[in-house]
Structure 1
Amino acid sequence: MTDHPDDRIALFIDGANLYSAARALNCDLDFKKLSTWFVGEGRLVRAYYYTAVVEGEEFSPVRPLVDWLDYNGFTVVTKPVKRFTDAQGHSRTKGNMDIEIAVDMLELAPRLDQAVLFSGDGDFRRLVQAMQAKGVRVTVVSTVKSQPPQISDDLRRQADAFIDLADIMNQVGKPKAPMNQGVARTLDRSDRA
């Protein structure tokens, strides 16, 4: 990724966007491997993970991940999901983290050599340009190897470097659990009987 082993690097992970890219590739991420991989590329200053959370639910599928990240060196930035009714009367939710990502990147820019943005959202093109103007190289991680591609062409062109998530899954991914693992175990036991 870099020829600068002393680079001060920070990771900025758009949780929802990265989840969509990994799902489009039919992969699961191992965040421990992910942070370790980037530590090998330079000096990891900070690793941020951004996600919206639904408040008031007894169980949130994102809560175990958020807790694990928080206990394992990631700076987790959350905000509550907002509920609204659209023009057709349907209940919708919104949990965009773009502003939080932009503010944190710009605030940390003076202490970075490289920012790694995990998102394919084209709205970040201008943010990448602003970081570059401050002397920070920006690498974007997403994928073009899914249908449809998960990255905006404008964002990919603006970035100093692009890493396709599909190309690094061997280093930062984990095997996806088979859907019918319980059925396979049951069949295996019955074969032995």
Structure 2
Amino acid sequence: MFYRDERLALFIDGSNLYAAAKALGFDIDYKLLRQEFMRRGKLLRAFYYTALLENDEYSPIRPLVDWLNYNGFNMVTKPAKEFTDSMGRRKIKGNMDIELAVDAMELAPHVDHIVIFSGDGDFRPLVESLQRQGVRVSVVSTIRSQPPMIADELRRQADNFIELEELKDVVGRPPRENYDGPETEMQPE
């Protein structure tokens, strides 16, 4: 539930949202996503969090990061760490949970409603703390993938759960074949 006069902020866990949309068979059109939430309330900020490999000459997520940066999103990035797992596979790690939580806590006194695009159960204490400050919290993820992409404890704590698949007609677009997305940069936790 949204109110037209409430002050909104969006907090997007990039790799988590990408993985959820991919599991549902679509990509996110971020221009449409921003417009949709501007329609739902007074959108003050839209944050997008992702880790980036700095030593790669070309990162598949770089065009998205640049576009978001020029189109009304506050980009929060940090260097990802690269390692080889026990099977010899190249893995990328870059958790942005702390950055998202700190920014949400700092913005809380200035907003009425925060929308978190993530299913990560680590955000449950953040949601609880925001609620104690009088902020309503909605969480966008999916229970319609196998396995579900949202932690049960996060879904229960949120004031509202928004099923990502139900936003598909509003903010979705067909997946691009040649784009691997942020999950090539890092694996959601």
The TM-score with structure 1 as length reference comes to 0.87
- Superposed CA deviations along residues 13-32 of structure 1, whole A, max 9, x for unmatched, are 00000011001001111000
Letter in 2 for 1:29: I
Structure 2 counterpart of 1:31: 30
* Number of corresponding residues: 178
Which structure would you say has the larger Rg? 1
Structure 1 counterpart of 2:103: 104
Cα shift at 1:135 = 0.4
Q: How does 1:108-119 map to 2 (within 5 A)?
A: 108-119=107-118
Letter in 2 for 1:147: Q
Cα shift at 1:174 = 1.2
State how far apart, in whole Å, the 2-side matches of 1:142 and 1:28 are: 13
Structure 2 counterpart of 1:49: 48
Cα shift at 1:87 = 7.0
Q: Find the residue that maps to 1:146 and give its secondary structure.
A: coil
Q: How does 1:16-27 map to 2 (within 5 A)?
A: 16-27=15-26
Letter in 2 for 1:63: R
State how far apart, in whole Å, the 2-side matches of 1:33 and 1:62 are: 19
Structure 1 counterpart of 2:65: 66
Q: Does the alignment pair 1:11 with 2:14? A: no
Structure 2 counterpart of 1:82: 81
Q: 1:147 to 1:89 in 2, by over 3 A?
A: closer
Cα RMSD for the two superposed structures:
1.7
Cα shift at 1:86 = 5.7
State how far apart, in whole Å, the 2-side matches of 1:60 and 1:90 are: 18
Q: 1:57 to 1:160 in 2, by over 3 A?
A: same
Cα shift at 1:93 = 2.6
Moved segments of 4+, more than 2 Å:
83-93, 175-179
Cα shift at 1:176 = 3.1
Cα shift at 1:82 = 1.4
Structure 1 counterpart of 2:134: 135
State how far apart, in whole Å, the 2-side matches of 1:88 and 1:149 are: 26
Letter in 2 for 1:130: S
Cα shift at 1:9 = 0.2
Cα shift at 1:147 = 0.8
Larger RCO, structures 1/2 (Cα 8 Å, 6+ apart): 2
The TM-score with structure 2 as length reference comes to 0.89
Cα shift at 1:175 = 2.6
Letter in 2 for 1:78: T
Structure 2 residues without counterparts, runs of 5 or longer: 179-189
Cα shift at 1:89 = 7.5
Q: How does 1:159-178 map to 2 (within 5 A)?
A: 159-177=158-176
Structure 1 residues without counterparts, runs of 5 or longer: 180-193
Q: 1:147 to 1:7 in 2, by over 3 A?
A: same
Q: Find the residue that maps to 1:39 and give its secondary structure.
A: helix
